[in-house]
Amino acid sequence: MTAIAILGHGVVGSGVAEVLRMNADSIAEKAGTALTVKRILDLRSFPDLPYADLFTTEFDTILQDEEIRIVVETMGGLHPAYDFVKACLQSGKSVVTSNKELVAAKGDELLKIAQEKNVNFLFEASVGGGIPILRPLAQCLAGNEIEEIAGILNGTTNFMLTRMVQDGMDFESALKLAQDLGYAERNPSADVDGHDACRKICILAALAYGKHVYPDQVYTEGISAITPTDVHYAEAIGRVIKLVGRVSKHGDRIQCMVSPLLIPEENLLAQVGDVFNAVQVRGNAVGDVMFYGRGAGKLPTASAVVGDVIDCAQHLAERKPLGWSAGDPAYVMDHADSESAFMLRFEADDHRTLIDALDAVFGEVEVVGCGGENPRELAVLTDRISERKLSEGLAQLGQQPVSRLRLL
């Protein structure tokens, strides 16, 4: 028998307890030992649960219990999760977490402590919820140099964009629906402004390239500026708008950003609808592979946590070879240097003159469409140019677009 503690009995934590009970027999067989939840830390009490007697409000009860070898952290947020996880690792317990904020902020430090103490710190559930992605990336694809990762990493915004594309909703209506269905928080900023996706692409980047990437190093743009007109023009060029986190290697440095992207309809990422997530990885041997599934939710996320717990139980005496070095400021390329093709929408009375001016500044642009409900409307596509060239060109032009969207 291996004793486990769970820190935080919220959606994911209670899901972990449920999966461990629901699949206890097959889990014991795979782990080679029964996995028993011995303590659950939560400030609330749950007197009606069959395991009500496991609850404690004292973290030290768990920390000082030497029988507890594996601690599951599902509290979320940085504090006190960071302090608790650090203390557990330092006292020789393995830790499994679903907390992307913690891993994105402190992954390098916590992995180092785990290494020093010869215990495991695993976090499959922190990216893509139930989708197996971190372990396949670190192990199955270890023979590859990873050229690029592009992922739909946030289910809430993908649900909203799906409604905007399929049902013609505007941003506000899609947000309200997501909130009514419980997919979005009352304060939706972490989702709609891209911060959640940013933490996840930081974790993927660190794992793929062996060096920590801090969220504040990553240009992050959300979906709140997307309008039905953007959706309309995207459709006109056979593309679908998705919020994508992506990272690629360029010599010793990486390009990393989160932003809405126009994805060709025939790319499988464009087909990923509703709350589903998907991560596309391009390796120099394997080519493109994609991982798809539920990126959030109680049991899917618990599935990933329990997979890690089983792995810890199988390797109590041995550390998994997993780690990355601390980040540094020069490692992530300046956003101004990253290149994309852009769809730019302008409002102008004289389209011919504007097109000529755009051609002069950006090289020949391709006109996607004009007019429609608003006769002043003009949408064009540029070639691949850097963010810097785009800004400089627009300044030179003396005209700012109504919207700018990058193409994948």
Identify the active-site residue in 38, 100, 106, 200. 200
As a whole number of angstroms, the distance between CA 151 and CA 203 comes to 12
The contacts of residue 393 (CB under 8 Å, 6+ apart) are: 361, 362, 385
Total number of residues that touch a copy of itself (CB under 8 A): 55
Q: What is the DSSP letter of 145?
A: P
Residue 388 tokens, joined: 């810097």
Strand-pair category, 339-347 with 385-386 = antiparallel
Residue 304 beta carbon to a copy of itself: minimum distance, rounded to whole angstroms: 7
Q: Is 385 within 8 Å of 404 (Cβ atoms)?
A: no
**Toward a copy of itself, which CB reaches closer, 69 or 195?**
69
Q: What share of the chain is helix, strand, coil (3-state, %, to 5)?
A: 40, 25, 35
Binding window for a copy of itself (CB under 8 A); candidates: 28-36, 55-63, 195-203, 330-338: 28-36
As a whole number of angstroms, the distance between CA 99 and CA 120 comes to 15
Binding window for a copy of itself (CB under 8 A); candidates: 195-203, 236-244, 266-274, 368-376: 266-274
Binding window for a copy of itself (CB under 8 A); candidates: 173-181, 192-200, 303-311, 329-337: 303-311
**Toward a copy of itself, which CB reaches closer, 21 or 376?**
21
For position 112 contacting a copy of itself by CB under 8 A, the verdict is no
For position 388 contacting a copy of itself by CB under 8 A, the verdict is no
Considering just the CA atoms, what is the radius of gyration of the chain in Å? 23
For position 181 contacting a copy of itself by CB under 8 A, the verdict is no
**Residue-wise burial string across 96-108, b where 16 or more C-beta atoms lie within 10 A, e elsewhere:** bbbbbbbbbbbbb
Residue 405 tokens, joined: 């969207």
Residue 118 beta carbon to a copy of itself: minimum distance, rounded to whole angstroms: 14
Closest among 155, 193, 176 to 301, alpha carbons compared: 155
Residue 15 beta carbon to a copy of itself: minimum distance, rounded to whole angstroms: 8
Binding window for a copy of itself (CB under 8 A); candidates: 30-38, 63-71, 190-198, 364-372: 30-38
As a whole number of angstroms, the distance between CA 42 and CA 166 comes to 41
For position 29 contacting a copy of itself by CB under 8 A, the verdict is yes
The type of residue at 201 is I
**Toward a copy of itself, which CB reaches closer, 23 or 173?**
23
Closest among 338, 320, 334 to 246, alpha carbons compared: 338
As a whole number of angstroms, the distance between CA 67 and CA 97 comes to 19
Closest among 7, 8, 16 to 297, alpha carbons compared: 16
Binding window for a copy of itself (CB under 8 A); candidates: 26-34, 100-108, 182-190, 369-377: 26-34
Binding mask 199-228 for a copy of itself (x = CB under 8 A): -----------x------------------
Q: List binders of a copy of itself among 31-70 (CB under 8 A).
A: 31-32
Residue 159 beta carbon to a copy of itself: minimum distance, rounded to whole angstroms: 15
Residue 299 beta carbon to a copy of itself: minimum distance, rounded to whole angstroms: 4
Q: What is the DSSP letter of 245?
A: E
Q: Is 292 within 8 Å of 107 (Cβ atoms)?
A: no
For position 302 contacting a copy of itself by CB under 8 A, the verdict is yes
Q: List binders of a copy of itself among 116-155 (CB under 8 A).
A: 124, 130-132, 135-136, 139-145
As a whole number of angstroms, the distance between CA 256 and CA 329 comes to 13
For position 360 contacting a copy of itself by CB under 8 A, the verdict is no
For position 168 contacting a copy of itself by CB under 8 A, the verdict is no
As a whole number of angstroms, the distance between CA 193 and CA 89 comes to 33
C-alpha distance from residue 210 to each of 153, 204, 251, 308, 324 (Å): 20, 10, 14, 20, 4
Q: What is the DSSP letter of 132?
A: -
**Toward a copy of itself, which CB reaches closer, 66 or 265?**
265
**Toward a copy of itself, which CB reaches closer, 73 or 124?**
124
Residue 143 beta carbon to a copy of itself: minimum distance, rounded to whole angstroms: 3
For position 321 contacting a copy of itself by CB under 8 A, the verdict is yes
Catalytic status, residue 200 = yes
**Toward a copy of itself, which CB reaches closer, 211 or 246?**
211
For a copy of itself, the binding residues (CB under 8 A) are 15, 19-20, 22-23, 26-27, 29-32, 124, 130-132, 135-136, 139-145, 210, 268, 271-272, 283-294, 297, 299-300, 302-307, 309-311, 314, 318, 321
Catalytic residues: 200
